[in-house]
């Protein structure tokens, strides 16, 4: 497993190489070769996440949707989900509010 870990470190952000290696490992299993489960986890490419959220409410908004006092809780929820999903690549519009929180959370985890 150390060799797989080293190989993943060498390819860096070349996710196609990870996917190709994972496909080869799966083919080995199809023909009866026993592959330890941790190898699948080592070769797992990052999850791509598309994000759509609300902008922060303007001060004159009558019915609250995303009041500024919820910003920290929303960021924590985003962090939790990115970790759960093993997010490594994300897309959003970068609108004011939760989209910016999402982009900052991706940066904090060294994702793209």
What residues contact residue 97 under an 8 Å CB cut-off, 6+ apart? 53, 54, 55, 56, 66
The band of 18, judged by pLDDT with boundaries at 50, 70 and 90, is confident
Domains of the chain, by residue range, sit at 1-45, 46-112
Q: Minimal CA–CA distance to 109: which of 28, 35, 85, 44?
A: 85
Place of tokens 């060498």: 10
The model's pLDDT over 24-68, given as tens digits with 9 standing for 90+, comes to 889 998 999 988 888 888 888 889 999 999 999 999 999 999 999
């Amino acid at each position: 497993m150390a060799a797989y870990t080293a190989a993943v470190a060498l390819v860096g952000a070349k996710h196609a190489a990870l996917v190709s290696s994972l496909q080869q490992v799966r083919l080995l299993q199809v023909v009866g070769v026993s592959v330890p489960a941790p190898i699948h986890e080592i070769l797992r490419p990052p999850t791509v996440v598309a994000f759509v959220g609300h902008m922060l409410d303007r001060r004159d908004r009558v019915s609250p949707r995303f009041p500024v006092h919820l910003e920290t809780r929303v960021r924590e929820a985003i962090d939790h989900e990115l970790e759960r999903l093993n997010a490594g690549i994300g897309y959003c519009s970068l609108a004011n509010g939760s989209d910016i929180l999402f982009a900052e959370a991706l940066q904090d985890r060294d994702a793209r």
